[in-house]
Amino acid sequence: MEKLASLRDQMVDTQLIARGISDPGVLAAFRKVPRHEFVPPGLQDSAYDDSALPIGEDQTISQPYMVAIMTELLKLKGSEKVLEVGTGSGYQAAILAELCRKLYTIERIGPLSKRAEGILKKLNYHNVEYIIGDGTEGFSPSAPYDSIIVTAGCPQIPPPLIDQLAEGGSLVIPVGERFYQTLTVVTKEKGKIKIEPSIGCVFVPLVGKYGWRD
Ligand code: SAH
């Protein structure tokens, strides 16, 4: 356990701070959330490596730096209602749950959602709701959201996500080709939509009505 905690601190220093992540809240969340709880049993020793890892069902837990930069781009202050599309392992969800008021997280693969829910509950996160479904349609019952984060790659920005973004809110989403995308930040100010590209990235495909076909 102590070894894992020291690997976690090293991850924050060498992978996040060294690459420019500086939001104190984001860094504190990464020092706290036990990433090794979210990887499959045989991979715990690799949990703090500088890479994505398989989590079953052909899906991955994203690289720590990618989770950090996406979270930092959301500029969370603690009072937000957030929508995450792509629960996956639940690790990004735990980081968000540390930093916002209420998180809604959608996953299309039922067993992944259930597994993530079990881990987050065990770790005492009680401000998260788990939805199984197609996140390209967002989740209208609880819209609008102050922040929306999509953790799978999409050929276009799904229109329902723009509709469900609150005034003044930000949406962070990888947009592009099936195997290479650009992290994109969409903001809504006085009803106007602004789209700004950030860094290149590689995510598993977002599969759904406004995403890729399976
Ligand atoms: N945030 C996750 C990353 C998981 S990878 C983590 O921290 O581990 C992306 C996830 O998006 C996969 O689990 C995949 O099944 C899911 N996904 C793909 N298309 C989706 C869709 N339309 N709606 C919801 N989830 C989707």
Q: Is 79 in the active site?
A: no
- What integer pLDDT is reported at residue 214 of this predicted model? 80
Give the pLDDT score at 148. Answer: 98
Q: How large is the average pLDDT for residues 40-60?
A: 95
pLDDT level of residue 193 (50, 70, 90 thresholds): very high
CA-CA-CA-CA dihedral for 113, 76, 35, 109, to nearest 10: 20
Average of per-residue pLDDT across 175-185: 97
Phi, psi of 50 (to 5 degrees): -85, 55
Interval 132-153 mean pLDDT? 98
What interhelical angle do 64-74 and 24-32 show, nearest 10?
140
Query: What average pLDDT does the chain have?
Result: 97
* pLDDT surpasses 90 at 1: no
Residue 201's pLDDT band, with cuts at 50, 70 and 90, is very high
Q: How confident is the model at residue 121 (pLDDT cuts 50, 70, 90)?
A: very high
Which residues form the pocket of ligand 1, taking CB atoms under 6 Å from any ligand atom? 59-62, 85-86, 88-89, 91-92, 106-109, 112, 134-136, 151-152, 204, 206-208, 211
Which atom of ligand 1 lies closest to the CA of 67? 7
| Active-site entry in 46, 51, 62, 140 | 62
CA atoms lying within 13 Å on the CB side of residue 186: 26
Residue nearest (by alpha carbon) to ligand 1 atom 14: 86
Give backbone dihedrals phi and psi of 8, rounded to 5 degrees, phi first. Answer: -65, -45
User: Confidence class of residue 16 from pLDDT cuts 50, 70 and 90?
Assistant: very high
